[in-house]
Homo-oligomer: A and B are copies of this chain.
């Protein structure tokens, strides 16, 4: 039985067709991840990747985007809006999809990135914050929600189907 069960990474979910989100994947998640047929992965964290993960992505032919940003930390730290805009343009490039976006817990940095994606899709802020909270639980950062609210970069290219005007 044990080897038949598939273990998704922490906080795993679909965001859009071709876009997944999660916390940091580790060895026990590899069989599950193989089934997603990923073309690329985006790791949003200032820390280095583990060798084990780098080897796994290399072996499975998955391109790695490492976005080295620290999270929003009141009152001094703030993610650079340009970094997120640049990351979004990679996420929305169909050539990179299917893509998995992950940070460590799948709560804050990925929550910010997905929140900004929802803004491009013109989702109501109430719905964006609700989705953010679903993954952060009680660990929600108001600074993240403020970041999403003021984020106003123009879409670098056509957003996914649900966003089309």
Contact = CB atoms under 8 A, between A and B. Distances in A.
Interface string A59-100: 000000000000000000000000000000000000000000
7 contacts: A5-B123, A8-B123, A13-B131, A14-B15, A35-B161, A35-B164, A37-B161
The 4 closest A-B pairs by CB, nearest first: A14-B14, A7-B124, A8-B127, A6-B122
Interface residues on A, range: 20 to 34
Nearest to A18: B17
Contacts of A134: 13, 134-135
Contact of A35 (B13, B127, B162): B162
Contacts of A12: 127
Nearest to A134: B134
Given A4-B122, A36-B162, 5 more contacts: A17-B17, A35-B163, A37-B161, A134-B134, A134-B135
Contacts of A163: 35
Contacts of A122: 4-6
Interface in A1-53: 4-8, 11-17, 35-37
